[in-house]
Structure 1
Amino acid sequence: MSTPAVAERDPQLKGQLKYVIMAACASMIGFWGWTMIGPLAKYYTETYGLTEGQRSLLIAMPVIVGSIARIPVGALTDRYGGRIMFTIMLIFTGSMVLVTGLVGQMGNFNLLLIAAFFLGIGGSIFAVGIPFSAAWFEPHRKGLATGIFGMGMVGTACAAFFNPRMLNAFGYFPTHLIMACVALTYAVIVWIFIRDSPVMKARTPEPVVPKIINVSQKLITWQLCFIYAVGFGAFVAFSNFLSTYTQKIYDFDPVAGGTFAAMFAVCAVIARPFGGVAADKFGGKNTTILVFIAMAVLGFFVAQAPASTTVNTVLFIALALCVGFSTGTLYGWLGKACRPQDTGTISGLVSAAGGLGGYFPPLIMGAVFTDYGDYFWGIMFFVGACVVSVLVSLWMENDRQKAALAA
């Protein structure tokens, strides 16, 4: 009895794991630069005398810009390939981290917001890696490929864990200088050692704007966008805001709060490849529905803000695992629902929605805390979004059937 789906490997894709891991490292550095500001929010609040609203706006600014920028970056990756786009994005991110470090010492909040705006473009590196990674793996293993690449999300954990410690050890500007040097050095490494999949190189370039318009007319694109906005949005929002949350609710100091946020991000990152593998094996629709039900239940209990920090920690670890798993299942689903040559464009739109999903929660949480003195209704908003995601998933076609976008 033969098992071709398991045994078959494309010989022209030799070295696939190495290149996807290198892409994940590029994403990790890009995400670290993208989320430089959130873990240092207490520093900015004390230095600039920020209100809760200003603090939330500063944290959210890079998130929304990085989200919107993923749309053209994904389409450009389809056209020019990952090697060129990774190099450009890392150079830009490193430069803007350095600019943010310089501006942050000037005491001008408006200038800092402008720097945060351009720093946010670094978050669009995610839209480079999805088509790059998917092109390196066979169709029946695309969920695994995007799951491995998605582990680059650990960059947010690196920022949450290391930035407050680096600030204490080296000072504000040296922290940014170190990160900028890391990004610029890795840009050189990528340019020299990484290469695009032969599958991606063989594609015929298509005009960027018409391609974006074409895929945006598909219903399934927007259905996937909404679901990912909730899943990845939760990852971005909690990774950026948990430090503030734990300081407000449990009186953690900034280092402990950053460690807690890093723990959440690491757990989510670990779970992501398993979500991709589950989507390959059981279907993206089935796994997505189950994991979003679990997220809604866990979110409800988190909203109660249990007095025990141990219970709170267990709940957030479980929630982080589900959030990471959900992002893996969604991209495993997407990999089978679109034409290979459209992967970058569609993933740009979907990942943009995910980033936008992370933009609004910090603003909502800040507004809720200002009005009520806690975060209950802000987290319940997330619970409601999970429920709606389940309903949207039930509405969609099963991804084990003919792909809707390939028609």
Structure 2
Amino acid sequence: MTEISKPQAYKALSLAVLALVINFWAWTLLSPLGIRIANELHLSTSQLSFVLALPIIFGALGRIPLGILADRYGGRIILSLTSLLTAGAVAHLTFADSYNQMLLAAVLLGIGGASFSVGVPFVSAWFSSKQRGLMLGIYSMGNVGTALSALVTPTLSDNIGKLQTFWLVAFCLVALAVIFWVCAKDSPVWRPASLSARRSFGLAVNQRLTWDMSIVYALSFGAFVAFGVYLPVILKLSYDLSLTDAAARAGGFVLVATLARPFGGWLSDRIGARKVVKASLMFVAMLAGFVAFQQSLELHITVAYLSLAFVLGCCNGAVFAIVGKAAKAGSMGSVTGVVGAIGGIGGFLPPLLLGATYQYTHSFGWAYILLSIMSLVIFVYCTFCFRDKKLYAIV
């Protein structure tokens, strides 16, 4: 049996987290500057919503081919190439001076979001099944890149300029690609998938696990991404905060949700991921309903928003604890890609819904009510699907 060095395993985990942080920073680069870009390009609320939603949908869809490629060629090669491609996407932003050019840039930025599906099989191969809930939760902390984007991007833009900020992020991505190529390596127990891309995809979509987790992740990660992308706009329009203040608060939401992911993974290792998923969904339903029509951002409302972030993060961590333990050998990247893609698509629709809701009602409340209802529906679904002891016995 091949022995895995713990220092090498933790080095691989650290590099994967770094890669996810910087790629996710690039992926959500437009969100903190959304109002500013809308003013410069004279975009309507709906047009801005579409620009902010495009990186999500293409980041989601891109997870399927990248997950398949990760199973076939390994995380070292694919994450290095992904970082270079994302650098090119960010560089294109410096030339985007029209609505159509901004749409193209938004599509290309999706590459950064798609990188997530590469890291899951890369990290999983370094750790035993009993450790994967926590370790994949730690890897998922790379989502803090979206918080980094919300917190740092407006300040950088104010101090060094918007275009210079884009060039700085592009440089970080190129440096990351070089570091990952030189320093990272695939686990000694990892073996490339022997199936063709088509058969790998078929193996993933024919597993019931894939669709059960996709349904849960569409809500939990979809809500996380939607809030990460659109919360600065919600806070500014609903509570009349400054752009910088709204972006900072949105960054806090993303940070809490991100830090909760390893806790959700750790808790899944201890008490079972099924319990974590169901409890999280129930709390999401209650908290979303509570904040729906609040008119002022008082302390208890802020606590409710942060609590919502925490339970969404726990649910996300639990989902990939299940995937990491229950996915069939040789298909983890493909399953991760499909689950991640559907989760990302779950984040594509809410910004459009939020924009339309505000445009016609001057409130975001009904969108929150829909989130609450959907959480309850999926809770009931999970209650039945988790009864399959053969599939979910290990989690």
Using the size of structure 1 for normalisation, the TM-score is 0.93
1:20 match: 13
C-alpha deviation, 1:186, in angstroms: 0.9
Partner of 1:403: 391
Secondary structure in 2 matching 1:198: coil
CA distance in 1, matches of 2:164, 2:200: 42
Q: Output the CA distance in 2 between the equivalents of 1:380 and 1:304.
A: 9
Percent sequence identity over aligned pairs = 33
Cα distance in structure 2, aligned partners of 1:389 and 1:133: 29
Q: Hey, what does 2:210 align to over in structure 1?
A: 221
The answer to whether 1:156 aligns with 2:149 is no
Structure 1 residue 86, shift from structure 2 partner? 0.7
Question: CA separation of 1:312/1:10 partners in 2, compared to 1, >3 Å: closer, same or farther?
Answer: farther
| Structure-2 separation of matches of 1:10 and 1:142 | 18
Contact 2:86 2:109 (8 Å CA) reproduced = yes
Corresponding residue of 1:123: 113
Q: Is the 8 A contact 1:13 1:137 kept in 2?
A: no
The range that moved more, 25-34 or 218-227, is 218-227
Q: Which residue of 1 aligns with 2:92?
A: 99
What is the alpha-carbon distance in structure 1 between the residues aligned to residue 254 and residue 175 of structure 2?
25
Hey, what's the Cα distance between the residues in 1 that align with 2:392 and 2:204? 11
Superposed, which structure 2 residues align to 1:313-324 within 5 Å?
A: 313-324=302-313
Once residues 224 and 110 of structure 1 are traced to their aligned partners in structure 2, the CA distance between those partners, rounded to angstroms, is: 35
Out of 292, 297, 300, the position equivalent to 2:289 is 300
Q: Does 1:209 align with 2:198?
A: yes
Tell whether the 8 Å contact from 2:4 to 2:126 is kept in structure 1 after alignment.
Answer: no
Is 1:66 aligned to residue 59 of structure 2?
A: yes
Work out whether 1:132 is the aligned partner of 2:125.
no
For residues 123-167 of structure 1, the C-alpha deviation after alignment (integer angstroms, 9 at most, x for no partner) is 100000111111111011111121010000000001111111111
Question: What's the counterpart of residue 50 of structure 2?
Answer: 57
Distance in 1, matches of 2:276 and 2:43, equals: 42
Give yes or no for contact 2:239–2:297 (8 Å, CA) kept in 1: no
Name the amino acid aligned to 2:4: Q
> Residue deviations 1:4-61, cap 9 Å, x none?
xxxxx98424321221121011001110001111111011111011111001001001
CA 316–10 in structure 1, closer or farther in 2 if over 3 Å, else same: farther
Map of 2:338 onto structure 1: 349
- How far off its partner does 1:102 sit? 2.0
Q: Could you tell me which of 106, 109, 119 is aligned with 2:99?
A: 109
Matched residue of 2:125: which SS? helix
Distance, in Å, in 1 between the alignment partners of 2:374 and 2:14 is 32
Structure 2, gaps ≥5 residues long: none
Match of 1:5 in 2: none
8 A Cα contact 1:225 1:350, kept in partner: yes
Question: Aligned with 2:189: secondary structure?
Answer: helix
Q: How big is each residue's C-alpha offset from its partner over 1:46-91, in whole Å with a ceiling of 9 and x where there is no partner?
A: 1011111001001001100010010010011000000001100100
Q: 1-side partners of 2:392 and 2:274: how far apart?
A: 13
Residue in structure 1 matching 2:81, options 88, 97, 100: 88
Q: Deviations over 1:329-351 (max 9, x none)?
A: 11111122212311100000001
For residue 161 of structure 2, the aligned residue among 165, 168, 171 is 171
Amino acid at match of 2:11: K
Partner of 2:348: 359
The answer to whether residue 23 in structure 2 is matched with residue 30 in structure 1 is: yes
Matches of 1:231 and 1:184, distance apart in 2: 31
1:245 is aligned to 2:234: yes
Aligned positions, number: 393
| Letter of the 2:54 counterpart | M
2:273 aligned with 1:281, yes or no? no
How far apart in 2 are the matches of 1:190 and 1:133?
14
- Are the equivalent residues in 2 in contact too, given 1:21–1:148 (CA < 8 A)? no
Shift of residue 241 of structure 1? 0.7
CA distance in 2, matches of 1:13, 1:345: 26
Question: What is the alpha-carbon distance in structure 2 between the residues aligned to residue 203 and residue 86 of structure 1?
Answer: 15
2:70 counterpart (71, 77, 84): 77
**Range with bigger deviation, 327-336 or 299-308:** 299-308
Specify the alignment match of 1:3 in structure 2.
none
| Counterpart residue type for residue 181 of structure 2 | W
Contact 2:71 2:193 in 1 (8 A): no
1:186 lines up with 2:176 in the alignment = yes
Structure 2 counterpart of 1:197: 187
- Separation in structure 1 between the aligned mates of residue 192 and residue 312 of structure 2, nearest angstrom: 33
2:252 aligned residue (222, 240, 263):
263
- Selected match of 1:335 from 315, 320, 324: 324
Cα shift at 1:217: 2.0
- 1:312-333, Cα deviation, whole Å (9 max, x unpaired): 2111111111111110011111
